[in-house]
Amino acid sequence: MRTEMEKMLAGDLYSASDPEIQREVSATHSWLVRYNAALGLPPSERLDLLRERLGSVGDDVVIRPPFHCDYGFNISIGKGVFLNFNCVILDVVKVTIGDLTQIGPGVQILTADHPRDAATRASGLEFGRPIHIGRNVWIGGGALLLPGVSIGDDALIGAGSVVTRDVAAGATVFGNPARVRG
């Protein structure tokens, strides 16, 4: 029988109230307190802090505090990535951010999802769908990336957009829902 954590990581229905999962949430909260207090530290020291909790972090990554995530260990960030102030990553499953991607302030990257069936949802079960962001992507401030989307290399996501479906490499999308624009 699989643990709730194993179910979560596989993207299956799981109970977020499971003690093992709650221990990880608590550990991440403690780490976030430290990281978010580190705004005045040199970038190299903040990079060391990121590498303590995130799954993988390339060279020259900058994440400006405050930053928020669920677990951290499900986040992989390529080299030269920049996340501006107040980004939120709900990482119940994998979030991959490719090299040289730039993410504006207040962007939310949300892998967490909930059952559409009311009875299942009321039971407290949830699941996640991974998000992949390619290389050299630019995501404007306040954009929302919904569970399961994939953003191709060199794409541009306009500020305030709600990305509900995959974005092709090199595409420019904006709006709610985000749509391809010339």
* Total number of domains in the chain: 1
Residue 4, pLDDT score: 97
CATH number for the domain spanning 95: value is: 2.160.10.10
Catalytic residue among 29, 68, 114, 132: 114
Query: Which residue's structure tokens are 């207040």?
Result: 106
- The phi and psi torsions of 50 (rounded to 5 degrees) equal -60, -40
Domain that includes residue 150, residue range: 4-180
Q: What is the full DSSP assignment across 20-35? A: HHHHHHHHHHHHHHHH
29 annotated active-site? no
Q: Which of 132-136, 159-163, 164-168, 178-182 has the lowest mean pLDDT?
A: 178-182
Instruction: Tell me the per-residue pLDDT of 53-96, one tens digit each, with 9 for 90 and over.
Output: 999 999 999 999 999 999 999 999 999 999 999 999 999 999 99
Residue 20, pLDDT score: 97
User: What is the value of pTM for the model shown?
Assistant: 0.96
Confidence of residue 181 (pLDDT cuts 50, 70, 90): confident
